[in-house]
Structure 1
Amino acid sequence: MGGASPEHQVSLASGRGIAKAVEILGHTAIPLVIDAKGNWVDGQHEAIEILQACDVTVPALHGEGGEDGTLQGFLNQLKVPYVGSGVAASAVGLDKHLTKAVLKAHGIAVTPGVTLSGPDLTDTEAAMQTIKAAGLDFPVFVKPGNGGSSYGVTRATDLASLAQAIADAADVDPHVLVEREMVGREIDLAVLQFPDGHVDTAPALEIHSDPSQPFFNATAKYDSTATRFVVPAPLDPALAERLRRTAIEVFEVLGCEGLARVDFFVPADGEPVVNEINTFPGFTPASQFPRMWAAAGMSYADVVDTLLRTAAANG
């Protein structure tokens, strides 16, 4: 837990929650912390010895360096079973541009957008030409190509705010995604793989973000008491089933394993679109993923137990 991404503190909270659940389940949990500079607090050689002595590892890291396939490749080299997706699915899942390209190629609707890089990051006029060529216009959302928890994400409404938004996102990642603003409902689906291999979703969750914030940003996610999560989301049965099938399809198309959270926009007068996937979503007891499974009758410890047993079965 931890790691060098902006989601360091979120990861520590996820890791502490999982470690407590592991102990409740009667197992021994050994927390391994990676600091904000990417160093193993206990030393890398010591960490390798600990990892190789474990039955299952839980890479409870969010964002770059943990959720992007880097740590998964390291664990593959050590031949240590671990919870969650492998190298390829993790790498594609964290890269928003690649995720959308793969899903579009499989006929799955995604948020319309375009990726900026190179000169477009410093030349706002050139960036605007690229954006308009993609059929987009203000307002748009500007976000790092890799990352989570809405760090580096900005809503831009004119050239001045676009320039600042691109600069902020480029500080996080050299590829910047610009997307059409989607007006509608924000619906999340939690996908879980069980030890026998079958995959299912929990009841959907709807986000009602803090109205004082410009969108569901990091403040609304982690520091606001005005943000509400409604689960089960009040959905027409046909829409609920459609989102369920699409979430599982996204999981399978990307080659995911273990768990994922698939986030949708549902416009009032249009078709649902996939916004993004999190291959290791926030996992504190208050996070969306365990909230959704609680609505399905699974406790936090039950979900952790399922993840451990699935990883052991696949390992």
Structure 2
Amino acid sequence: MPADDATTATDQPGDRPTGRRTRVAVVFGGRSGEHSISCISAGSVIAALDPARYDVVPVGIATDGRWVLESADPARLALGPGGELPVVSSDREVALVPGQGLVAAEPSQVPDVLGQVDVVIPVMHGPWGQDGTLQGLLEMAGVRYVGAGVLSSAVGTDKHVMKQLFRAAGLPVLPWVVVRPRAWERDADAVRAEVAALGYPVFVKPARAGSSHGITRVNSPAELDAAVDEAARHDPKVLVEAAAQDAREIEVGVLDALDGSVPQVSVPAEILVGEGHEFYDFEAKYLEESFAVPADVDDDLRAEITSLAQRAFEALEVEGLARVDFFVLPDGRVIVNEVETMPGFTSLSMFPRMWAATGLDYPALLDRLVDLALTRSTGLR
């Protein structure tokens, strides 16, 4: 879709503005443990948005929850040469005000009305951003945005609820146990027995965190308590999941079609966990080249993964985009692991790499996402 086909924040879908760039607010950072990964993703997005087509406004959310007008220099948001992680650090606070758009303020200065934006790209990972909270704010303000709505964002962040919906939709999932604080404090032995019924090894993880934060592979009952405590540092709700032993880890990207037809699915990629990693942990995910794009899969397996990805996308009522992750077990069974409603957008991230291998490069992918956001209204749909 050409630039002059984009709708403004006050137009109805199908209306066409004339003679100006689409104004895009890239929102990133946040209060979750994935703050820095969000910053890195946002830096890649800002660098790839075509300045001839887009007027980009970078809005950072600090770790204390303040909204600030951040630097538009992608290098400021990049991973440091020694692995240093970027953080939101501007002092120029900004607010989203219904009827006025973005309003910026500095100490002892008159507030500066920056004006309306056409669309927000919420490059947010984890709670307080990816989980429906930011999406709800944007819905209330009447601002269009890229990606999943309130409900699917919330469900996609909660691995427990996600699995329940997958199972209700007839999708294959691994067995699991949920560990809630009261149950663990009241009768830890009962919880330990539930976990033992899964069979060891298991993976213990925060129910609502990402980027492999707080995940532990537990090989015996003696290791369980420490793993639950570690996961609970990130989220009081803990998920314990049976391990997919000797499984291949395959992922695909899903994009809504502009014409509202069946969602499109990218070529698959495979996670290749190197020596020194028991699983796809933070270092393997962000600091190493640990995947193959495209994955070496036959036509039948690719067709099955494609169908399951579309079903999972629609089971959670996702909009815009998602990454869908699978386990392929040694006996050939395909298991749906999870749907990531705002996958990483760093230069090494799987989602853009898969779409590039499918024929949609990074800038064109962003164009597609903005166009999708601008063709839908806020509110019930």
Instruction: Give the letter aligned to residue 174 of structure 1.
Output: P
Instruction: Give the letter aligned to residue 371 of structure 2.
Output: R
Q: Which deviates the most, 293-302 or 215-224?
A: 215-224
Find the partner of 1:67 among 121, 126, 130: 130
What whole-Å deviation, never above 9, does each CA across 1:13-45 have from its counterpart, x for those lacking one? 111111222234521110000011222124776
Larger radius of gyration: 2
Two-structure CA RMSD over aligned residues (Å): 1.6
1:50 equivalent to 2:112? Answer: no
Q: Which deviates the most, 40-49 or 243-252?
A: 40-49
Equivalent residue number for residue 61 of structure 2: 34
Structure 1: unaligned runs, 5 residues or longer: none
SS at match of 2:178: strand
Find the partner of 1:221 among 276, 282, 285: 285
CA contact (8 A) 1:263 1:275 kept: yes
**In 2, Cα distance between equivalents of 1:162 and 1:24:** 51
1:174 equivalent to 2:236? Answer: yes
Find the partner of 1:241 among 293, 303, 306: 303
SS at match of 1:261: strand
Structure 2: unaligned runs, 5 residues or longer: 1-27, 70-91, 104-114
CA contact (8 A) 1:67 1:280 kept: yes
TM-score with structure 2 setting the length: 0.78
Equivalent residue number for residue 193 of structure 2: 129
1:282 equivalent to 2:344? Answer: yes
Equivalent residue number for residue 148 of structure 1: 210
Would the alpha carbon gap of residues 179 and 167 (structure 1) be closer, same or farther in structure 2, given more than 3 Å must change?
same
Quick check: which one's helix share is greater? 1
Instruction: Give the letter aligned to residue 50 of structure 2.
Output: E
The alpha carbon displacement at 1:124 in A equals 4.3
Would the alpha carbon gap of residues 307 and 196 (structure 1) be closer, same or farther in structure 2, given more than 3 Å must change?
same
The alpha carbon displacement at 1:195 in A equals 2.2
Aligned pairs, number: 311
Matches within 5 A, 1:106-121: 106-121=169-184
Would the alpha carbon gap of residues 14 and 45 (structure 1) be closer, same or farther in structure 2, given more than 3 Å must change?
closer
**In 2, Cα distance between equivalents of 1:94 and 1:253:** 14
Find the partner of 1:9 among 16, 36, 50: 36
**In 2, Cα distance between equivalents of 1:272 and 1:283:** 26
**In 1, Cα distance between equivalents of 2:313 and 2:151:** 13
Instruction: Give the letter aligned to residue 276 of structure 1.
Output: E
What whole-Å deviation, never above 9, does each CA across 1:217-245 have from its counterpart, x for those lacking one? 11111123xx4211111111011011001
The alpha carbon displacement at 1:95 in A equals 0.4
The alpha carbon displacement at 1:143 in A equals 0.4
CA contact (8 A) 2:286 2:348 kept: no
CA contact (8 A) 2:156 2:339 kept: yes
SS at match of 2:325: strand
CA contact (8 A) 2:177 2:241 kept: yes
The alpha carbon displacement at 1:304 in A equals 0.2
Quick check: which one's strand share is greater? 2
TM-score with structure 1 setting the length: 0.94
Instruction: Give the letter aligned to residue 33 of structure 2.
Output: P
CA contact (8 A) 1:121 1:166 kept: no
**In 1, Cα distance between equivalents of 2:52 and 2:274:** 35
